Amino acid sequence: MRRRSAGFLVLALTAGLVVLPATTAAAAPPGVTPSTVDVTLGPGQSTTVAKSVTTAAVPPNPDLVLLADTTGSMGGAIANVKANAGEITSDVLGAQPSAQFAVAEYKDFTDPFAFRVNQNTTADEAAVQTGINQWTASGGGDAPEAYINALWEIATDEIAFREGSSRIVAVFGDAPSHDPSGGHTLADAIAALQAAEVRVIMVNVGAIDAFGQATAITEATGGVLLNNVPADQVSEAILAGLGAIEVTVTPTVGACDDEVDVTNTPAGRTVEGGGTAAFTETIAAAPNAAPGVYTCSVDYLVNGVSAGYVQSITVRVPGFSVDDVTVTEPNLGTVTATFTVTQSIPGTSATSVRYATANGTAVAPGDFAAASGTLTFAPGETTKTFGVQVAGDTVDELTENYAVTLSNPVGAGLIDPTGKGTIIDADRDGAFSCTATALRVASVTVARANPANIPCVDDAETVVDAGLNAGLIRVGAQALTATTDLTPDDQQIAPEPGDGVHSRAAVETTGISTLGLSIELGAIESNATVTCVADDDGLKPVFSGNSHVASLRINGLPVTVGSAPLTIPLVIGSLKLNSQTLVNGVLTQRAVALETPLTSIVIAEAKADIHGTSAHPGGNPCVR
């Protein structure tokens, strides 16, 4: 004898009598719990989730056949079902809105009919009531009736069961069946019911199981036998029997990304209607799962039919990325290049990844210090950093690169495992040069600043007076000065507008004499500069120069000169004033130059120029 609490109706079977209890406990709503799962897993990792599936009190998508013994002794039971037919259909539809119903009856073979269908499968409750209203208690006579034949007829196409429905026959009667019945044995009927996947509820209001037939049928079909049911409680017993039918819950994986594997243990569970089936679900990320977000669904089928108990699974596979870092190389010491490693999704457990540097155009240890190690991310952490020490020098170099590589991830994958370290050289791409000469006669110089020319440095030289001979030509000069100035003095700092050089040469008075020629010169000055000036592309070098001759007399005759270039032919050669040349990046400004076939005399010459480096032959000191 069964004892069962239905989800929508509770009947207690006590002392052989079916009675309604005083109170009804609320059943949990049907469905799968939890219905959504969101987990974070590394490649090859897995986790387990406890799942519970609460079934409905009625099997899903039911086709319920109400089969009545309508022989003469069944008047009370028939009246009860007629009066409560609407409650039966409405309760079933409340639990399973897709339910449909059929109505049939059986008598005995001595009656006008042994079996007939009053209403075939329909969702129309009024039609079901009309079918039931056709039942009339009459006929019979001997104790056995014809329900074995009726069940065989139902199982062999007399009822239009829907494809994929839960097929249930609820029989109520008070007498056993002939066997064989209509030529069909008990074994025939059971075989037909099993083939059609029909479950049978037997409501015994008398002696329907007198020969053990009802027990055999319900056990063979997974049905329910309710004994000792009073005639005025048949409708309640039918509903209780529906709730007592066992159902099998089977997890079935639906649409699932290849990167996710989902299994449930056990593969299926059988529980009574309204009961809860417990499963342990294992969710795993494939060992080769790339970082990303993947989904899977599991439908917990009831008796092989979807009841809408679908679980949605989201698996998030985190991944590591490392950024690119650029630093400017210092002139002295080291600077730290700080790399950031990012985990795309916060982990729910600790994760880790190894990092290591690798040579590129920059080579350890000269350009940077090799570094390696393991970064461990605590649950919830998404960023970690590590440093690479970049070595400084004062050598102009090209921009150099090295690599950092991530490997051996644990609990995550790799998204962007390679970062680039860039070292921008801090040294200028060239150098300024400068020199200034107050007087040069042939190869002899007087008052010369920064005679080395490159690199330019701050320098100054002053001579009170000088007298030099070049064959028959005599040169005398007073107050000779030459200066060179570099801005800034420390050329290791970054170039800025206004950086540059200034060369200046000056002579207060000069006299040049030879046979038949006298040249007298007043104050003479030359300037040459190179200055870094901003433009759209950064800084560029701008050259400028000027010179001035205050006065000139040739054999006592004054000649107007000023700052403009001027060439005066003489018997011994030519006198060039205020000349300027810019050749191969060298600006030369000369105030006075006397060229003769035998010698040359230069007064107040200033030079300023720029040079590249071996790394940047075409470079200049305004950039780096």
SS (H, E, C) 306-357: CCCCEEEEEEEECEEEECCEEEECCCCCEEEEEEEEEECCCCCCCEEEEEEE
Mark whether 202 and 111 lie in a shared domain. Answer: yes
Are 287 and 420 found together in one domain?
A: no
Residues 310 and 169 in one domain: no
> Of all residues in the chain, what percent carry a pLDDT higher than 70?
96
Q: Is residue 602 one of the residues assigned to a domain?
A: yes
Q: Tell me if 254 is assigned to some domain.
A: yes
Same domain? For 285 and 415 the reply is: no
In a domain, 624, yes or no: no
The tens digit of pLDDT for each residue in 76-89 reads: 999 999 999 999 99
Do 488 and 574 belong to one domain?
yes
Residue 260, pLDDT above cutoff 70: yes
The answer to whether residue 532 sits within a structural domain is: yes
Of the residues 193, 216, 244, the one at which a domain ends? 244
Q: Are residues 267 and 339 in the same domain?
A: no
Helix (H) or strand (E) holding 129: helix 125-132
The whole-number pLDDT of residue 141 equals: 74
Is the confidence at residue 3, as pLDDT, over 60?
Answer: no
- Among 293, 317, 341, the domain-final residue is 317
Q: How many domains does the chain have?
A: 4
Q: In this structure, are residues 116 and 104 in contact, taking their beta carbons and an 8 Å threshold?
A: yes
pLDDT in tens, 161-187: 999 899 999 999 999 999 999 999 999
Judge contact between 314 and 37, C-beta under 8 A: yes
**Percentage of the chain with pLDDT > 90?**
81
255 within domain boundaries: yes
| Mean pLDDT of the 526-531 span | 98
CATH number at residue 298: 2.60.40.10
Specify if 19 maps to a domain.
no
At 291-340, the pLDDT tens digits run 999 999 999 998 888 888 999 999 999 999 999 999 988 878 899 999 99
Position 27 scores a pLDDT of 54
Domain end, chosen from 244, 270, 287, is at 244
The model's pLDDT over 597-624, given as tens digits with 9 standing for 90+, comes to: 889 999 999 999 999 888 778 889 998 7
Over residues 583-608, the mean pLDDT reads: 94
Mean predicted confidence (pLDDT) in 528-556: 95
Establish if 397 belongs to a structural domain: yes
Mean pLDDT score of the chain: 92
329 and 304, same domain (yes or no): no
Query: Which residue type occupies 78?
Result: I
Q: In what order do the strands lie in the sheet with 383-391?
A: 383-391, 334-343, 319-322, 413-416
In a domain, 106, yes or no: yes
The 10s digit of each residue's pLDDT in 115-140 is 999 999 999 999 999 999 999 999 98
Calculate mean pLDDT across residues 505-531.
96
Q: How confident is the model at residue 397 (pLDDT cuts 50, 70, 90)?
A: confident
Question: Which residues form the domain of 349?
Answer: 319-424
- Does the pLDDT value for residue 229 go beyond 90? yes
Element (H, E) at 261: strand 260-265
Indicate whether 134 and 225 sit together in one domain.
yes
Cis peptide before 112 (omega within 30 of 0): no
Q: What is the DSSP letter of 494?
A: P
Predicted pLDDT at 494: 82
Q: Are residue 578 and residue 497 in the same domain, yes or no?
A: yes
Helical axes 75-95 vs 234-244, angle rounded to 10° = 40
- Residues 279, 51: contact at Cβ < 8 Å? yes
Q: Look at 128-132, 214-218, 395-399, 435-439 and tell me which has the smallest mean pLDDT.
A: 395-399
Give the pLDDT score at 10. 38
Residue 203 contacts residue 171 (beta carbons within 8 Å): yes
Question: CB within 8 A of 12, min separation 6: which ones?
Answer: 3, 18, 19, 20, 21
76 and 200 part of one domain? yes
Mean pLDDT over 234-259 rounds to: 93
Q: Are residues 273 and 311 in the same domain?
A: yes
3-state secondary structure of 103: strand
Mean pLDDT of 212-227: 96
Same domain for 227 and 263, yes or no, is no
Assess whether pLDDT exceeds 80 at residue 427: no
The predicted-structure confidence for 12-38, as pLDDT tens digits, reads as follows 333 233 333 333 344 568 899 999 999
